[in-house]
Amino acid sequence: MKIRVLGKGLEVSEIGLGCMGMSHGYGIPADKNEMIALIRFAVGKGVTFFDTAEVYGPYINEELVGEALEPYRKEVVIATKCGIKMANGKQVVDGKPEAIRKSIEGSLKRLKTDFIDLYYLHRVDPSVPIEEIAEVMKDLYKQGKIRHWGLSEAGIQTIRRAHAVFPLTAVESEYSMWWRQPEEELLPALEEVGIGFVPFSPLGKGFLTGRFDRNTTFGKEDLRPIYPRFSAEAMEANQSIVGFVKSLAIEKNATPAQIALAWVMAQKQWIVPIPGTTNLGRLEENLGSTAIELTPEDIARINEALGKIPVMGDRYPVEFAKRAGL
């Protein structure tokens, strides 16, 4: 497994593992022992970068990741996030300094560690100046509780202001073959100031793998039906992008998932995707994407073709969209 560097020196495997779906977002939580085995299998394959958050579950995803990685703590990079709470069954953004200071204590305990490698603010709280957050993160760094910090789904001005107070190591936002908006302003800005990029949902929440169509029904506790891109109509219309990914897979003797991941990794050396899965076979498949070579000529050709394929449906429902890009 090759290594990539985020920001000014956080070394991670070139592909990470997103752990959210094991406990949250895509159906009822998977079996804990199976997920521990899956995470440890990833470690055995050279994956050193694991992504979780306080709100996933809430709490049980951090507990799972903490238990799975305890024997390997020194060899791995754990990224977790603060700043979203559950209140009356709804997610609420809370980036107040006292909330962050309280959150980190809980995360450290659940993750069975005395430091967090990469601590993200999960969503920007518009009621708290980002400079105040950066000062809190600087203080947590001085106390040895975090090694690096980052922002998730933040706007460019916020990123620049935060970075000026206490340098950011990474920004985590959605990016994939069907959500390329980050190419417009975010990626050039990150490159300019030397911040790493961690794309979430690099498989389009599973859609780009070709496993969903208009007849798909999602299980209990699966959030996908609330995303406009996952309406039956959109899933039907968006088979055009799936068809394109499948044609590339045939050309490169790969699977659609591997193409989707190789495409993300081929964009820049400082980009490290964190695909999620609850299945050992699919984990192996996804790790196989590191062997797929997409040349600059391939990427130029693919991007031109992608630019001509319309994608139907917003990526977020209105409530969620309001919290992105602040």
Q: Which residues bind ligand NAP (CB under 6 A)?
A: 18-21, 26, 51, 152-153, 172, 200-206, 209, 211, 257, 274-279, 282, 285-286
> For residues 19 and 99, which CB has a smaller minimum distance to ligand NAP in the complex?
19
Q: For the CB of residue 276, give the shortest distance to ligand NAP in the complex, in Å.
A: 3
Measured from each CB, the residue nearest to ligand NAP is 18
CB of residue 117 to ligand NAP, shortest distance in Å? 14
What does the block give as tokens for 277? 């899965």
Q: Write out the two tokens for 97.
A: 């300094």
Helix axes 296-307, 256-267, angle to 10 degrees: 110
Specify the residue, 108 or 249, whose C-beta has the smaller distance to ligand NAP. 249
SS3 state of residue 122: coil
Residue at 86: amino acid letter: M
**Sign of the torsion formed by the C-alpha atoms of 172, 277, 53 and 319:** positive
| Residue 16 CB, nearest approach to ligand NAP (Å) | 8
Q: Where are the beta strands (DSSP E) in the chain?
A: 3-6, 10-13, 17-18, 49-51, 77-82, 84-87, 90-93, 116-121, 146-152, 170-174, 196-200
72 an active-site residue?
A: no
Residue 61 to residue 32: CA distance in whole angstroms: 9
Q: Considering 56, 119, 120, 175, which one is annotated as catalytic?
A: 56
* Shortest Å, Cβ 12 to ligand NAP: 14
- Residue placing its CB nearer to ligand NAP in the complex, 142 or 176: 176
Kindly tell me which of 40 and 297 has the beta carbon lying closer to ligand NAP: 40
Active site amino acids: 56
